[in-house]
Structure 1
Amino acid sequence: MVNTIIGSGIFGIPTPLNAVVGRASPLAMVMAGLGIGLMMACAAEVSSRFTEPGGAYLYARTAFGRFVGIQIGWFSWLAPMGTSAAASNLFTSYLAAYFPFAGTALGRAAVITTLFAFLALANCVGVKVGANLSSVFTIAKILPLLLLIVLGLLYFAHHPQTFAQAQPAPAGISPWIDAMLLLSFAYGGFENAILPAGEVKNPRQTFPIALAAGLLLCIAIYSLVQFVSVATIGTAPAERPLASAAELLLGTGGAAFITVAAMISTFGHLSAVQLATPRLTYSLAERHDFPSVFARVHPRFQTPYISIMIFSAITCVLALSGTFRWAIAMASGALIVIYASICASLIRLRRMHGDEALLGIPFGPAIACLCIGFGLVLLARLTLREGFLLLVTFAIATLHWLVVRNRAYPQAIISEAGSAS
């Protein structure tokens, strides 16, 4: 749970979050985590009905039919593109601290292009290479954050004035809604942790404890890191906020330590997404719910090389055309669509199959409706540029559905506890 949520975003999100809600940003971290917890509960119930992999795409297709399923499949492709585009910009930003060329327009383009080309090649060669990269580059993710938290709290105990003098929280509710939109990106990824709910022994006892403990730990780490950022460097704009905080606490060595940790975590995120997402589109193409070209397999390496190359190429273009802030807003919008579809699936599946999920949450439909309504409010805060790709994705998915709607596709497999389809 912790591993799927805490990724590269925490190394870059303190600055844009401070710009929105000032020194109240640690509180925003807590509020966003609790809000995501409601969506997480809905997702846990829905996933406990299924034994077949597929995630939100499978849930939506089973609950609402092929049109909605295809839409969610395409959005499930867009969301990791946005997160990867943001992560690659963050990687380049931290790299530029020691290699200034990476901070120039030409250098940034060269670094991002090389990054995605390398990851695409590694995953085209074979899943083992991609999986090993994902493991190696995510080992050192949480330890630097814990060290920063401890040192930052000790610093605050002796220098509380920095936090007190930081930009106060703005008036009105709009900034808080914008903060929740940003933090949908930070807390995204929990759906990957709950996918095997239908295969877990005694999920009614296991899942509530595991999900609650994992979420509370993520909220604690995120809010404390945000607090330390404000308590050390304030709320002024900082291109590498955690590195700046570490430099204040430990000197240049501390900044270098956090910079390396940020680059390792970011690369780990990129390699994990590059490993998983093209294989999702390969699976969708096999079901005829994605263009058939995505199902092509390399004759030697037996990998979905077309899916890998297309994903890498489009993500690279998105990374080069936008900033970290733009990419996380776009990714957040796609994630909210996906999470709202899961909440809607809960309502529909309860009507179709009763309250027979392995894990049923109290007041499930009411919570699902609340989450859907909140998701719509967040989507309304997107600018035209941030929401443009969401509209394009919807249009492409609709055109694709018109082409394939009469083709046969496999039915979903629902666990016995959720009634067989």
Structure 2
Amino acid sequence: MHVTGTAPQPAPAPSEDLTVAVGDPHGPTGGADAPGTTSKHDRGFGLPVATALVMGNIIGGGIFTLPASIAPYGTVSLVAFGVLTVAAIALALVFGRLAARDPRTGGPYVYAREAFGDFAGFLAAWSYWITGWVSNAALAVAAVGYLDVLIPVGGHHWSACLAALTLLWLPAVANFAGTRYVGAVQLVSTVLKFVPLLLVAVGGLFFFDPSRLGPFNSSGHGPVGAVSASAALLLFSYLGVESAAVSAGEVRDARRNVGRASVIGTTGAALVYLLGTLSVFGTVPHDRLVHSTAPFSDAVNAMFGGGWGGTAVALAAVISMTGCLNGWTLLSAQTPYAAAQDGLFPATFARRRRGVPTFGVAVTVVLSSLLTAYNYLSGSAKVFEVLVLVTTFTATVPYLLATAAQLFHLISGDGASVNRARLVRDAVVTAVAAGFSLWLMAGAGYAAVYQGTLFLFAGVLVYAVMAARRRRRHG
């Protein structure tokens, strides 16, 4: 997910009826659908939809400006892309292994709580929830910039704000309609946005001219420094690898499909990133690319001539972000739902209808809307950008807790791999994933880590209240 355009999308599942939360021993609480029953609105996600959820949530709109962002570093940035891709796939493998152990809705929250207790689980849920609703606001604001190319909406603060709120609430409506419709929107939007991306990623290879690539390293640093510097811009592009794990309770045969969807989705997103960036590098001259504000538009215009590239890319970006908002709206409600079932979040977050935690969706979209309105009406864009950067830190807290949980299981031997070779392999993968999580956290910057820690400490107060209520209720 890349919030500047984050973070940052499914068809109706096959016809067999399943319980609302496959693999979730708690089952649904509240809502219209009784436990152990299902309706046409809440059938589980299959592998294609779960994969689309991962890919759609990883690829937001940032890809449409990413080649220009890293062009000043030269083609050495492609090496950074490769390194980060390996690390992101390692994290996806860890989520797959953890979901095979415990395929319940909640992802990192479930894994952290099982390994380390209620407090660690709460921190994972709290951090992920903050990431969800703030990032959704950022996505909506970024989408308005692309929408303005198609329909003039940015001339006044009120019209831009209304457009952003519409982009927030349309995916929320799909979520309220049930997981079946969430899945349909996610799969369709993922397919639609990949058409222009693949057009550039694959078609651009036929127009590729090595002379346009520019220098290998134009950063002014040594090779290692250049890779690290460019990686700082790329780190956040892989937020979303946990998407299938967070919605594991809605994934059919989650013990197998969560891991597959996580790896396939992350790998697919990486291929689009790498091929798209390489094609843009090879079709747009380097001296022009470093100053480009719409590199994919420039690439399309260079490939086919004409000035329609900007419109095509803007349409693809709006579709991309709408699908990303659809997926992240669901994810931002799933973790509080799981925590509420265990008494770590207010019980109202456990309300569920048609397979969707409706109260969590409502709270998420309301908070995102308030932050979006504040951004437009107060003119506090700088404050908004700081909050978005803070969410990069809050997103890595659940990642690090999840990899720590996997490390705990491997060392303790609790559910460890059946043979030594597999144990060593899993340990290496987990170490790479942990390194990626720490690197991601460092990339957020000192200010974001400091302010993100304040968000976590605010959560500690909420945890104290919930823990006291549970003790009084059960004491």
TM-score class, shorter-chain normalisation, is 0.7 to 0.9
1:282 equivalent to 2:345? Answer no
Deviation at 1:377, TM superposition (A): 4.1
Partner of 1:52: 104
CA distance in 1, matches of 2:338, 2:259: 30
Partner of 1:41: 93
Q: Alignment length, in residue pairs?
A: 402
For residue 97 of structure 1, the aligned residue among 128, 146, 149 is 149
User: Structure 1 unaligned runs (5+)?
Assistant: 410-421
Deviation at 1:71, TM superposition (A): 0.2
Deviation at 1:228, TM superposition (A): 2.1
Return closer, same or farther for 1:353/1:51 CA change in 2, 3 Å cut-off.
Answer: farther
CA distance in 2, matches of 1:202, 1:70: 24
Return closer, same or farther for 1:278/1:246 CA change in 2, 3 Å cut-off.
Answer: same
SS in 2 for 1:380: helix
Contact 1:89–1:112 (CA<8 Å) still a contact in 2? Answer: yes
Deviation at 1:344, TM superposition (A): 0.4
1:347 equivalent to 2:407? Answer yes
For residue 67 of structure 1, the aligned residue among 119, 123, 137 is 119
Return closer, same or farther for 1:199/1:127 CA change in 2, 3 Å cut-off.
Answer: closer
Deviation at 1:77, TM superposition (A): 1.1
CA distance in 1, matches of 2:107, 2:185: 24
Return closer, same or farther for 1:237/1:151 CA change in 2, 3 Å cut-off.
Answer: same
For residue 10 of structure 1, the aligned residue among 58, 63, 72 is 63
Amino acid at match of 2:360: S
1:314 equivalent to 2:367? Answer yes
Partner of 1:236: 290
For residue 218 of structure 1, the aligned residue among 269, 276, 294 is 269
Return closer, same or farther for 1:303/1:187 CA change in 2, 3 Å cut-off.
Answer: closer
Amino acid at match of 2:341: E
For residue 109 of structure 1, the aligned residue among 151, 156, 161 is 161
Deviation at 1:67, TM superposition (A): 0.5
SS in 2 for 1:26: helix
SS in 2 for 1:376: helix
Amino acid at match of 2:234: L
CA distance in 1, matches of 2:313, 2:200: 9
Deviation at 1:186, TM superposition (A): 1.9
Deviates more, 1:194-203 or 1:367-376: 194-203
- What are the Cα deviations for residues 263-300 of structure 1, in whole angstroms up to 9, with x where unaligned? 112111112222342243233223221134434579xx
Alpha-carbon RMSD across the aligned residues, in angstroms, is 3.7
For residue 362 of structure 1, the aligned residue among 424, 429, 438 is 424
1:137 equivalent to 2:189? Answer yes
Deviates more, 1:345-354 or 1:258-267: 345-354
Partner of 2:448: 386
Partner of 2:318: 263
Deviation at 1:188, TM superposition (A): 2.4
Contact 1:126–1:303 (CA<8 Å) still a contact in 2? Answer: yes
Partner of 2:465: 403
Contact 2:100–2:255 (CA<8 Å) still a contact in 1? Answer: no
Partner of 2:237: 186
Contact 1:285–1:293 (CA<8 Å) still a contact in 2? Answer: yes
SS in 1 for 2:400: helix
Partner of 1:164: 214
CA distance in 2, matches of 1:209, 1:405: 36
Deviation at 1:214, TM superposition (A): 5.4
CA distance in 2, matches of 1:384, 1:103: 35
- Report percent identity of matched pairs: 23
Amino acid at match of 1:185: F
Partner of 1:416: none
Q: Which has the higher contact order (CA 8 A, sep 6+)?
A: 1
CA distance in 2, matches of 1:307, 1:267: 19
Deviation at 1:63, TM superposition (A): 0.3
User: Structure 2 unaligned runs (5+)?
Assistant: 1-49
1:85 equivalent to 2:147? Answer no
Contact 2:123–2:459 (CA<8 Å) still a contact in 1? Answer: yes
Partner of 2:9: none
SS in 2 for 1:356: coil
Partner of 1:413: none
CA distance in 1, matches of 2:400, 2:329: 25
Return closer, same or farther for 1:397/1:303 CA change in 2, 3 Å cut-off.
Answer: same
Partner of 2:38: none
Deviation at 1:176, TM superposition (A): 3.6
Return closer, same or farther for 1:167/1:242 CA change in 2, 3 Å cut-off.
Answer: farther
CA distance in 2, matches of 1:134, 1:268: 6
- What are the Cα deviations for residues 207-240 of structure 1, in whole angstroms up to 9, with x where unaligned? 9888666554433321111122233333424333
SS in 1 for 2:239: coil
CA distance in 1, matches of 2:90, 2:216: 31
Contact 1:91–1:263 (CA<8 Å) still a contact in 2? Answer: yes
Contact 1:93–1:240 (CA<8 Å) still a contact in 2? Answer: no
CA distance in 1, matches of 2:200, 2:363: 38
- What are the Cα deviations for residues 16-59 of structure 1, in whole angstroms up to 9, with x where unaligned? 3335x343332222111011122223222222211333211000
